[in-house]
Each structure stands twice: as C-alpha cells, then as structure tokens.
Amino acid sequence: MTDASFEKPTLSRETLEQQNIFFDEDFYQDADEEEDVGDGRISYYDLPQHVNTVRQALLNFEGRIPDCWSPHFDHDSLPADYFQPPTPAIEKPDVEGITFETCKDLMKQVEEKRTAWSEADWVHFLRSRLFKSYEDAYPNRTKFNNLFDRWSSGQNICWEELRERPHFDPYLTFPTAPKPDLTFGFPVIDSSDRLPNGFAQETSVQNFSEKILSDLIGAGVIPTVTTGLRIKCNRGSRKMFDADNLCFPWAVFESKRSGLGSSGRERCYCQAANASSAALTLLEGLFRKTYGQLPNDLGPIIAFTNTGAAFRVWLTFQTKYGKHMMVCIWESSLDCIWGILSTSIIIANMHIWASRVLKSRISACISEFRRKRHVG
C-alpha cells in the first residue's frame, strides 16, 4: 500500500555504488548506428545481447508513423500554435491511440506550464495522458484481455516488503526501500473472482494467482513489493489494497520539476536506479530460488525519468561482473511533437514486451519452481 509517512529515499551516486548499483547518463547507441542524437554524448560499449534486443523492441518505430506526420517534426522548435493537423487524407488518424491534435495540445501544456509545475503536477500529467492505466488505455477490453494483457500500476507505492524482509534473501542489499512516482507490474489474480470459463485453470493464469504467489512467499520468494499478500497469507484474511495487487515490477518512473539543475537530475536518476535495481533483484530472487543460479539473459527492468520537459528511457540489467547497471537508451523532450509521439510508442511497445515476452518467461520459471517444490 502507499505510505504517506515514508519519504522518498535520499540517495547519491556514491551510496548506490557502494551497493554495486551504477548508472551511465550518457546516451547509449550501437556502434554501427551512425546518426548522432541529443547533445552528442554517446556511450560506445556493447550491451548484452538480451538487453539490446529489448532496447530494439522498445525503440521500434518502423511502420508506426504515417508519412504525413513527418514534415511536422522539422518544425518542433517553433511555437505550438504553428502546428496544423495533417491533411484529412491521412491514412491513420492516430498513432498508438494518440492523435496529432492531442500531441499538439500536450506539447502546448508542457511549454506553458513546465516551469510552474511541481513534481506532483508532472506525475499527474504524465500518468493521465501518457502512462495511462490499463482500464483507461483499453476501454473496450474483454475479460480475456484482462487475464492475459492487463498490467497494474500505482503511484507513490512504498516498497515496504523490501524494507521488512531483507533477512529472507542475502542478495537484497540495495540502499533503501524504493518509493517510485510510478510502479508498473503484473496484476495479482484473485481466484475468487469470476474468471472466463476455459481459461481460469491455464498455467499462465494460475501462476499469478494469490494462491501460487502466496506459496512462493512461503518458500522465500518476494513477488510483491508491499506486505499485503504476505499478511493475508499468514492471517488467512485481509483486505487487499490496489497497491497489494501488483507483482514482479518491471518498470518504474521518477520525476523532478524544472529548475533543479544537475543536482535534481542526479537525484532523479539515483532514485530510478535504486528502484529498477530493486525490481531486478526481486526477479533474480525467483530465478535463483528456482534454478540455483541466474540465467545469463535475465531482465532487464525499464526505467523512465523526466526532469522538467526532458524525458529519458533506461534499461537496468546485471553485468557479467555481477553489478547492476542502468543505461540510458533514449532521450527526448516533451515540449515537441516528436518527443510526445515517440514516448507514446515506446510505452506501447513496453506493454507488449512485458505481457507477451517477460510474463511468459516469469510464468515458465514459476511453473518450474512449482514442479521442483511440489507447490500448487
């Protein structure tokens, strides 16, 4: 659950590095990608193949943007009032559910209010307009979509389970329990709900049910970031809050308002690195308990940051030396059409990757855990 009394952790790069958590704020680009981006600061080193695959999936814009939108990107430095919507002959009126007029409106809001907005204003703006809930993103969803494609998200969730249970796992050595502005994960399925006939007993459904996740908790795995499910498991009954119904977080978002300078940016990056590292540690805990060691291609965890209009996408993974590294794979600005559009596409790609790729990987691991431990 959210905990208003729990303040965001005070972190520094030095504090993180003492716990083997690092981040590289230079923009990563493959050595064979010739086009320079941003301010030209590029990290030239090889990402692990499985991490680079996710990077390519998130940044896949191919065939997603109608040609008639492209000329407007050339004028992104001009005032918002300059922009006119594409011609009515446009083949596709929206991209990932966002129209040109919406992009223009969002850009105008950012231009006018970015210096006045507080951190809470930024989070509210981005959550309501870009990081939409599953219910808002898919108003015409079906019960079948809910079972397989739904994600959970929460604002200012205190990851209190990590604060209270480090003795269960010696690998839980991150500096402090995170409290990201936004947390994204998979929904915990309440088996008492009326589930669609023919699907309720599917392994991919059962593996994320309260019963199986409670069994994992009893075996020392930490699938949820709050204490709600563990307390319900131990006591037999307890009201589950929305924040309790989120397991195996796979993305986090941290925001800072404009005008804080380099110290504000670094604080934002530190909080994102801490939270994404913690999420990766939980995932590692499941695989380590199941297989006795970590696979070489686990993760990564996705992190988003914005400091004023500046927007970044990061991937956090374990290096071959056992360190957790957060690398910037995308940077743009929300005060331009392209920045808003590209962010929308990246978020849509993220949800596809999480629900179709990562979730099946976690489910297979849980199935193997159940087989070995005779659970469920």
The neighbouring-strand residues paired with 265 are none
CA-to-CA dists, residue 197 to 143, 194, 203, 208, angstroms: 10, 9, 14, 17
Write the DSSP symbol of residue 193.
Answer: S
Which pair of structure tokens corresponds to residue 148?
């397989």
- The number of folded domains in the chain is 1
**Residue 145 within a domain:** yes
Write b or e for each residue in 294-314: b if 16 or more Cβ atoms lie within 10 A of its Cβ, otherwise e. beeebbbbbbbbbbbbbbbbb
Q: How confident is the model at residue 92 (pLDDT cuts 50, 70, 90)?
A: low
Task: Return the closest-CA partner of residue 70 out of 344, 343, 342.
Answer: 342
pLDDT at 238 over 70: no
Q: What is the pLDDT of residues 288-297, one digit of tens each?
A: 999 999 998 9
**Residue 7 within a domain:** no
Residue 14: enclosing H or E segment and its boundaries?
Answer: helix 13-18
pLDDT at residue 42, rounded to an integer: 44
Please give the share of the chain, as a percent, with pLDDT higher than 70: 81
Give dist(CA 118, CA 181) in Å, integer.
13
Q: pLDDT: is 135 or 171 the higher one?
A: 135
Give dist(CA 317, CA 269) in Å, integer.
15
pLDDT at residue 350, rounded to an integer: 97
Distance of CA 81 to the CA centre of its chain: 33
Predicted TM-score of the model (pTM): 0.88
Q: pLDDT: is 194 or 82 the higher one?
A: 194
pLDDT at residue 303, rounded to an integer: 99
Q: How confident is the model at residue 45 (pLDDT cuts 50, 70, 90)?
A: low
Give dist(CA 284, CA 298) in Å, integer.
8
Give dist(CA 370, CA 364) in Å, integer.
10
Please give the share of the chain, as a percent, with pLDDT higher than 90: 46
pLDDT at 1 over 70: no
**Residue 292 within a domain:** yes
Where is mean pLDDT largest: 30-34, 38-42, 55-59?
55-59
For residue 210, the SS3 value is helix
Residue pair 54/315 in contact by the 8 Å Cβ criterion = yes
Give dist(CA 314, CA 102) in Å, integer.
25
**Residue 112 within a domain:** yes
**What's the mean pLDDT in 47-64?**
90
| Amino acid residing at 285 | G
Give dist(CA 26, CA 30) in Å, integer.
13
**Residue 199 within a domain:** yes
pLDDT at 178 over 80: yes
pLDDT at 96 over 80: no
pLDDT at residue 78, rounded to an integer: 54
**Residue 2 within a domain:** no
Write the DSSP symbol of residue 4.
Answer: T
**Residue 1 within a domain:** no
pLDDT at residue 241, rounded to an integer: 82
**Residue 265 within a domain:** yes
For residue 330, the SS3 value is strand
Domain of residue 98: give its range.
Answer: 13-373
